[in-house]
Amino acid sequence: MPRVKQFDEKEILNKAMELFWEKGFHATSMQNLVSYLGINRASLYDTFGGKEELFNKAFEQYRSVTGNTLKAIFDKEGSVREGLKKLFDNAIDEAITDEARKGCFVVNTTTELIPGDKAIHQVLSDNKANVEALFINYIQKGINSGEFDTSKNAESIGLMLFALFSGLRVLAKVDSNPDKLNLMVQQGLSVLD
């Protein structure tokens, strides 16, 4: 008779995501995972595979959640400028309240595992292209609606704002002074004027 799992897989996956996000892939040992997740090693392997498989699933979970959050912000706001402001405000709020200063799991993974891991490189390249497209399409929406001047280039602005968003999440790990972060965002969004 098969054994019944005594844990919620989604909850365990979310906890693994938090641990990998805070410590990184290399600094997280299987013993760290077993201790932090509160499940035995055999259950961990049976359910998720090894450390790399669990990391990949946790990383996919993070990208899914953050991608959906980004889309929700962009879909909810009638004004593209306000949607972008809200996105950056949320990033700043997260940076200020995150005592562990985790930053962005995607950026952290990029700096930890690239170059060297070809499989994760492809995942990160695809993620970058998808998020850049969200920014570009959102800027284009503002141009099409007349919110921004038609002389604006959606691609160049979208790419720059994505870089600002990613950079802000890195810099906030070192200095989460809200005045400085808001100044950066204000300057970045001025390209829309």
Distance, CA of 187 to CA of 103 (rounded, Å): 21
CB 94 within 8 A of CB 174: no
Domain boundaries in the chain?
A: 1-62, 77-192
**According to the model, what pLDDT value does residue 83 have?**
97
Distance, CA of 27 to CA of 177 (rounded, Å): 28
Q: Over the chain (193 residues), what is each successive 10-residue block's mean pLDDT? A: 67 95 96 93 91 96 94 94 97 93 93 90 95 97 97 98 95 92 97 96
CB 127 within 8 A of CB 112: no
CB 53 within 8 A of CB 30: no
Long-range contacts of 92-101 (CB under 8 A, 24+ apart): 92/168, 92/172, 92/178, 92/181, 92/182, 92/185, 95/168, 95/169, 95/172, 95/173, 95/176, 95/181, 96/172, 96/176, 96/178, 98/176, 100/22, 101/172, 101/173, 101/176
**According to the model, what pLDDT value does residue 20 have?**
97
The fold of 1-62 is Arc Repressor Mutant, subunit A (1.10.10)
**According to the model, what pLDDT value does residue 110 have?**
93
**According to the model, what pLDDT value does residue 1 have?**
45
To the question of pTM greater than 0.85 for the whole model, the response is yes
**According to the model, what pLDDT value does residue 117 have?**
85
What is the CATH superfamily name and number for domain 77-192?
Answer: Tetracycline Repressor, domain 2 (1.10.357.10)
* DSSP structure class, residue 78: S
**According to the model, what pLDDT value does residue 116 have?**
86
Distance, CA of 84 to CA of 164 (rounded, Å): 11
